[in-house]
A and B are shown apart, each in its own frame.
Chain A
Amino acid sequence: MLLTIRSLSKSFPGTRALDAVDFDLAAGEVHALLGENGAGKSTLIKCLTGAYSRDAGEIRLDGAPVSPASTSEAQELGIGTVYQEVNLLPNLTVAQNLTFGREPRRFGLIDGRAQADMAREMLRGYGLDIDVTRDLGSYSVAVQQVVAIARAVALSGKVLILDEPTASLDAAEVRMLFDVVRDLRDRGLGIVFVSHFLDQVFELCDRLTVLRNGQKITTERVADLDRVKLIGHMLGRELDDAIETAEHSPAAAQEAPEILRFEGIGRAGVVAPFDLSVRRGEVIGLAGLLGSGRTESAELLFGVRTAQTGTARDADGPVAHATPREAVRAGFGFAPEDRKTDGIVADLSVRENIILAMQARRGWTRPIPRAEQARLADEYIAKLDIRTSDAEKPIGELSGGNQQKVVLARWLAMNPRFLILDEPTRGIDVGAHAEILRLIRDMTDAGMSMLVISSEFDELVAAADRIVVLRDRRHTRELTGAEVATDEIVRAIAAADPREAAAS
C-alpha cells in the first residue's frame, strides 16, 4: 500500500469529526471518498494535507510514518491536493504558476525562456495545447484545474487528492479531466477522488470508501457494488428497513387548482431545464444528494440566480422572477439554507427581521409605522411561539429553531402564494423540528403552496404531497401518491438514468 491510515481520530469542540478511521490507498488506483455533509471527508483530507493535526492514529506513506504539519510539508512528502476552487494565481501566467518557487535562473534573474520551456515540459502528457505565457485566469476552469494537477504532480508525485474537482466543469471538460486522471493512475500515482457525483465515481474509480458521521462504513471495489447499496451506505439506511411513511391524503392536493407553472427553467452548468407546476395548498418536496442541484433549483425559481431559459406563468399570464425583488413582487418567498449568512441580519432585532421583506416591498419612502411593526412582531411571536424575551432582542441571540421561525414569520407576514424553504429544519432541535413541520401544514391548509428542500428524507415524506427527485443537476423523477416514501426516493436517486427509475 502506498498510503495507509489506521484509526485516525480528530475531535472538535462538541463533535467527533473522525472516529478511528482506516483508509488504504494503493499506487495506481483511483479511490473515491464518499459521504454526505458532515461525514468527515474534508476533515480526513485536511489531516492528510497537514491543514489539521490529528488527535490519534497513524498515517504511513510508503511504509514510513508521516505527520505533515503544513500543506507545503505534505507536498514535500509527496501528497499533493487540488481543490474545487483552483488554488493557483489567475493573475500570473501559466508558466509562472507552474514553476512558482522553482523558477529557472540565470545570473540571479529569472530566465523567462527557460521558465516557459520548463512549464511546457511539465504540461506534456496532459493533452493541453495552451500558450504558457498568458495569464492563467484567461483559461477555463477545466484548464486551470489541469494546470493545478500538473503542478501538484510535479511537486508531489505520489499521492494526489482531488477534492470535488469536477463541481464546476461541464461534461466535455469532465471527460478531459478524467483522461488526465486515468493517465496519472497508469503512471502509478495513488489518487483520492472526492465527489458528490456518483456517476463519475462509477465511471472513474477502482475502489471507494464511504464515511458517515466520522466513521468508516465500508471500503469496496466499485465493480462489486451497485448504486442502491452505495446510497444505503451513505445515508445509513437499508432499503428493507425503510421507515414506513405517514398517511397521505394526496387526492385533495392533486385536485387543487394550479397556481403557478414553470416551464423549462434552467441555467447551463447549474441545473438542466426543468418543469414544475405548483398547485394551491400543496407541499412539493425536493430530494437529492448534496450537490444534486436542489438549492440551485430553488435559487433559479426565486431569481437569486437568473435562469437562462424557461418561463413562469400563473392564471393571469407571465410572471417575472429574474431577481429576488421581482420574485417577491410575484408573491414568492424564500428562506435560504444558510440561515446565518443568507437568512437573518444577526444584529437587528426580531421585530426588524420580521418586517424586513415587507418594508423592502413597500420601498423605503413608505416606512411601516412603528406601532404597526410592533403589532406584526408580537402577532407572529405569539402565532409561531417564538421564544424571545421581547421583540427588540437581537435575533443573533436566539436559538437556531427560533431564528428559523423568525425567518418564516418574515415571509408569512408577506402572505406569499409560493414559499420556498431550503433545509428548514437544519441545526434545529427535535422539538422545534416538529413545530416547523406543523407550521408548514397549517400554512398549506390556509392555501399557501410550498417547495421544501431537505436532506432528511423522512421529513420530506412526512411533509410533502409530491416529491421531485434530483440527480446530477437534473430533475429526474417525480413521486406522487403512494410513491412518496423513503425507499422510493433512495431508489430514484440511485437509478442510473430516468427511464430506469421509471421502470423500477
Chain B
Amino acid sequence: MTVNPRLYPLLATIGIFVVAYIVCWLQFPYMLSTRVAGNLLTDNAYLGIVAVGMTLVILSGGIDLSVGSVIAFSGVFIAVMLRDTGLHPLLVFALLLAVTTAFGAAMGAVIHGLAMPAFIVTLAGMFLARGASYMLTIESVPIAHPFYDLLKDAYWLMPGKGRLTLIGVLMLVAVAAGALIAHRTRFGAQVFAIGGGEQTARLMGVRVGATTVGIYAFSGFMAGLSGIVFSIYTGSGYPLATVGTELTAIAAVVIGGTLLTGGAGYVVGTLFGVLTMGLIQTYIVFDGTLSSWWTKIVIGVLLLLFILLQRGLLRVTALRA
C-alpha cells in the first residue's frame, strides 16, 4: 500500500511528536501518564484553539497577527463585564464571540476590499485590539464568579488520576470542528482553492470576497473562544497577557505541517504542532536544570526543520511533474 504524498508533512509532524514523546518517556517514565497528558491538553488549550483559526487563515495564504491581542482583549472584556454588570458569564461569552467574530470579519473585508496584504491589515488589528483592552483597564482584573469556579473545576478523572478538563475537551472539539470545516465543506475547499491561487480560484467559481471575510471571521471567533478559555485558565483578565501568542500559533501551524504559503495542510496537524511545543515545555519542567528559553530554541530548530522539509517536498513534486 502506498501512502498519498499529500500526507507526508502530516505524517512527519505526528512522527516527530511520537519520537519526542518516546525520548521524554525514556528519560522520565512518568511522562507517559494520564496526568501529564491531561495537563498537556489543559495548558495548551487556548493555544490549540487559536491555532485552529490560524490554520484556516494560513491555508488560504493569509496570516492573522491580531489573535494574541484579541485573546487579551477577551479576558479583559469578560473580567470587566462580570465586575461591572450583573450579566451571566454565558451571555458575556456570547457578546464577546459576536464582537471578535465581527472584528475578524471586518479585517477580512478590508483585506479583500482594499486588496491589502493580510499582514498589514491584521497588524493594525493587533494594535487596535491591544489598545482596546487598555481602554477597558490597565491592570489585571480578577474574575470572581461562582459559574467560573464551576468551569474551572470541571474535569473528568481519567484512570491514573489524570484530569481531562473542560477546556482541554473544548480544544479537542475545536480541532475536530476546524478539521470538518476545512476538509469536508465547500467553504473549506474554497479556502484551499484561494491558498492555491486566487486568480485560478476565481476562475473556478470561488467567491473570493465572501470566503476571505469568512476565513478571518472564523479566526476572530476562534481567538474569542481562546480568550474565554484563557480567562478560565488564569481566572483573570490582563491587557498585557498573551503578547506574541499569534507568532506561537503560527509556529504551531507550520510545525503541524501546513504550508506557510497556503494551499496545503491539515487541521489535525496543528494539534500535533501545539502538543509538540507543549511537550518540549513539559520536558524542561521535568528536567528542572534547563532554562525555559530552551523551549524557544527547540521550537526555532523545529520550525527551520519544517520549512526545509516543505522546500524539499516541493522540489520532489516539481521534479516528478
Contact = CB atoms under 8 A, between A and B. Distances in A.
Interface stretch (B46-54, B62-70, B80-88, B194-202): B194-202
A100 B5 CA distance: 21
Contacts of B197: 89
B5 A91 contact: no
B321 interface: yes
A218 interface: no
A146 B185 CA distance: 26
B203 interface: yes
A64 to B, nearest CB: 23
Contact of A91 (B180, B183, B206, B264): B264
Interface in A65-111: 71-72, 87-93, 96, 100-101, 103, 105, 108-110
Contacts of B317: 135, 137-138
Contacts of B91: none
Interface residues of B, number: 26
A88 B197 CA distance: 9
A134 B205 contact: no
A191 interface: no
A93 B321 contact: no
A242 B6 CA distance: 59
Nearest to B197: A89
B321 A140 contact: yes
B196 A89 contact: yes
A71 B203 contact: yes
B321 A138 contact: yes
Interface in B197-236: 197, 200-201, 203-206
A138 B320 contact: yes
Interface of A: 71-72, 87-93, 96, 100-101, 103, 105, 108-110, 112, 131, 133-135, 137-141
B184 A109 contact: yes
A492 B321 CA distance: 35
A372 to B, nearest CB: 42
11 contacts: A72-B203, A87-B204, A89-B201, A90-B196, A91-B196, A101-B204, A105-B186, A110-B186, A110-B189, A135-B6, A138-B320
B180 A141 contact: no
B205 A101 contact: yes
A96 B320 contact: no
Contact of A100 (B180, B189, B195, B263): B189
B303 interface: no
B192 interface: yes
A58 to B, nearest CB: 26
B321 A110 contact: no
B200 A135 contact: no
A103 B5 contact: no
A138 B6 CA distance: 10
A92 B180 contact: no
B193 interface: yes
Contacts of A134: 4-6
Contact of A93 (B6, B186, B203, B259): B6
B189 A96 contact: yes
Given A100-B205, A101-B205, A89 B185 contact: no
B195 A91 contact: yes
A133 B6 CA distance: 9
Which A-B residue pairs are the 9 nearest by beta carbons?
A: A91-B263, A89-B196, A91-B196, A109-B184, A101-B205, A110-B184, A91-B264, A100-B204, A87-B203
B133 to A, nearest CB: 37
A214 to B, nearest CB: 26
A92 B183 CA distance: 11
Contacts of B189: 92, 96, 100, 103, 110
Given A89-B200, A103-B186, A109-B180, A139 B192 contact: no
A138 B196 CA distance: 14
Nearest to A144: B321
A72 B207 CA distance: 12
Interface in B171-188: 180, 183-186
